[in-house]
Amino acid sequence: MSSLNLHFLDARGALTNLRSWLTASLKESHDRAVALMPIGPIDVIVQTGKQVIPEKGILGYSPGPGVIFITVDPDNPALSANIERSFERMFAHELHHAARWEGPGYGSSLGEALVSEGLAGHFAREVWAGAPEPWEQLDIREIRRHVPVAARDWDRKDYSHSGWFFGVGELPRWLGYSLGFQLVSRFIEEREECKASNLAKTEARAFFDSLTKI
């Protein structure tokens, strides 16, 4: 049975006015997620900060099984706007990462990271429906330009995560998220029984051949 333990780092009151909404949103997203996929007991640490996605005012990170860190920027208007339940969708995304940590883990190679992010993106849609996130909608022509490199470097552990996923350097911003999303899309399209919710424990290598379908 899954339990959700919330920890607010709020000694200076920066989260006081948001705490009720954050609590309700986290619990609702968690309830929806566990109805679709087994998730072990989890600690969620909520803090304020400026290191967030500017377009959303939030950032999530699951560094291992049973823990998720969430950063919110109360001064960012995108946080309160919460367009299409951005906050809840982000948490669902991180919950899939947390579940995957109970199996093969997030991974240390490029291919493993692509699969983990693609699965988490699809799970957020499974929980909340709606369109893919902005970082999952890079132009397909741009994505295809980089598929041969992704195939070649699939097993590399010295890849640039900040380059592939955040556009640090010469690669387009959010390439890794969009490529991973398309990769998982192709995998699922050919397997009617598969959803992100039942693929959390699937090894990344199983997705490799779907690169050719993008």
Mean pLDDT of all residues in 133-139: 96
Mean pLDDT of all residues in 64-86: 96
Predicted confidence at residue 55, as pLDDT, reads: 94
| Residue 14: both structure tokens together | 């920066």
Query: Is residue 172 very low, low, confident or very high in pLDDT (cuts 50, 70, 90)?
Result: very high
Distance (Å, whole) CA 5 – CA 210: 37
Predicted confidence at residue 213, as pLDDT, reads: 96
| Residue 77: both structure tokens together | 């208007």
Predicted confidence at residue 1, as pLDDT, reads: 52
Predicted confidence at residue 129, as pLDDT, reads: 95
Distance (Å, whole) CA 40 – CA 64: 12
Predicted confidence (pLDDT) per residue in 88-123, tens digit: 999 999 999 999 999 999 999 999 999 999 999 999
Give the count of beta carbons closer than 10 Å to the beta carbon of residue 20.
9
Mean pLDDT of all residues in 183-201: 97
| Residue 73: both structure tokens together | 């920027």
In 3D space, the residue among 118, 94, 103, 66 whose CA is nearest the CA of residue 201 turns out to be: 103
Residue 144 — φ and ψ, nearest 5°? -60, -30
| Contact criterion met (CB below 8 Å) for 4 and 25 | no
Q: Kindly report the CA angle at 17 between 14 and 22, in degrees rounded to 5?
A: 95
Distance (Å, whole) CA 116 – CA 118: 6
